[in-house]
Amino acid sequence: MKTEVLDKCLELFRWIQDSDDDQISFLADLNVEFKDSLIEPFRRELGINLLAKATDPEKQDLIIFYIEELDRTILFNRDYKEIRPVDIESDGFYYPIFYEDQYETDPNGIAEVRAHFLFSSLFAVIQDYCNIYHIPFLDLCRDRHFILETINLQPTRDFEELTSCNKVLDEMTMEEKLGKRSSEIGRPVFAQEYLHEVYEIIRDFFSPEDQASLLFMLENSSDVEKLLVFLDTGNRLADAFKQLYDANIILGCQKKELESWICRNFAYVYQKNVRLFIPKYLNEIISTTKDKCKRPFLDVRFDKTLNKNILIKL
């Protein structure tokens, strides 16, 4: 199976998620077109991959793969309907470049809207193929807690179902939608006997203002309203959470859900700049057996004489 075009699109979304200024300028360049360079090649690549699948279940699994790859790479917190109907033409194709409340033509804002538009366009292609092969697109998205309102839903064979879905989405605010998504997935729960020990070890890596929110979050297995900034490189925090998970000190979730929780609640500092976590970065640390951290600040060891885990601050 070839995923060359998919990989190119995912890389663009990673640039946005990772706030890569150099690459954001590329996305903000209105002379860079998407239709012929990405959207139509994406349609052809997905079509060929679907034709190579012999059975309907195999085709559905392929669609699931595409949905999950796009969804785990970037999370937009805007309804697609918030994109203003102001179009800029590029090679005969029109691109919206503003959200409703966005008045400044800053490169970051333009790049985000263009990325959002591309994201929705790719899902439009996926929906087209779902219609062709009778694959239940809406059901697959709901099963994965995908936020449907971030894309422009296409007409389906079951028009009444789509109408009902749109009505429910229209009645919810984006905050409610994001909250619903996070509440439906597993949340990390810290084993009570280790909770305050974990907090004491990691608290010094956060500002005094963030420490209170950190403790509340750990005690209540909740999300925070404002991202907590880890005052060091991201791989050190990810490594610590990975060790705690592997030692069954973090419970109640799968590794993928732990990665999502970190993305929703933490940022980190790299070369004096605050950076957001991106799913792939965390996945390569937490969901693999490879050692990605050269300077861990925590070592979790099992003491056979005490028959319990010992947390050592390095």
Interval 116-169: pLDDT, tens: 989 999 999 999 899 888 899 988 988 888 888 899 886 654 444 445 555 545
Q: What is the dihedral of CA 218, 222, 223, 225, to 10 degrees?
A: -100
Q: Which residues 6+ apart lie within 8 Å of 302 measured at CB?
A: 247, 308, 309, 310
E strand or H helix that includes residue 267: strand 266-270
Report whether pLDDT(89) > 60.
no
Report whether pLDDT(90) > 80.
no
Report whether pLDDT(276) > 70.
yes
In the block, tokens 């005690």 appear at 219
Look at residue 142 in the predicted model and tell me its pLDDT: 85
Report whether pLDDT(289) > 80.
no
In the block, tokens 């750990």 appear at 218
Whether the CA torsion 82, 74, 14, 46 is positive or negative: it is negative
Look at residue 158 in the predicted model and tell me its pLDDT: 46
d(CA 233, CA 281): 12
Which of 6-15, 60-69, 276-285, 287-296 is predicted most confidently? 60-69
Query: What tokens appear for 32 in the block?
Result: 């860079």
Report whether pLDDT(5) > 90.
yes
Q: What is the mean pLDDT of residues 276-286?
A: 83
Residue 19 zone, left/alpha/beta (φ > 0; ψ -120 to 50; rest): left
Averaged confidence pLDDT in the chain = 82
Q: What is the mean pLDDT of residues 244-251?
A: 91
Report whether pLDDT(52) > 90.
yes
Query: What tokens appear for 20 in the block?
Result: 């890569």
Domain locations along the chain: 4-184, 189-313
Look at residue 270 in the predicted model and tell me its pLDDT: 79
Least confident of 149-163, 179-193, 252-266: 149-163
Q: Provide the H-helix boundaries in the chain.
A: 4-17, 21-28, 40-51, 56-73, 107-132, 137-143, 159-170, 174-184, 192-202, 208-220, 234-246, 255-265, 279-286
Q: What is the mean pLDDT of residues 193-217?
A: 92
Look up the pTM and report it: 0.53
In the block, tokens 């859900």 appear at 257
Q: Which residue has the higher pLDDT, 207 or 86?
A: 207
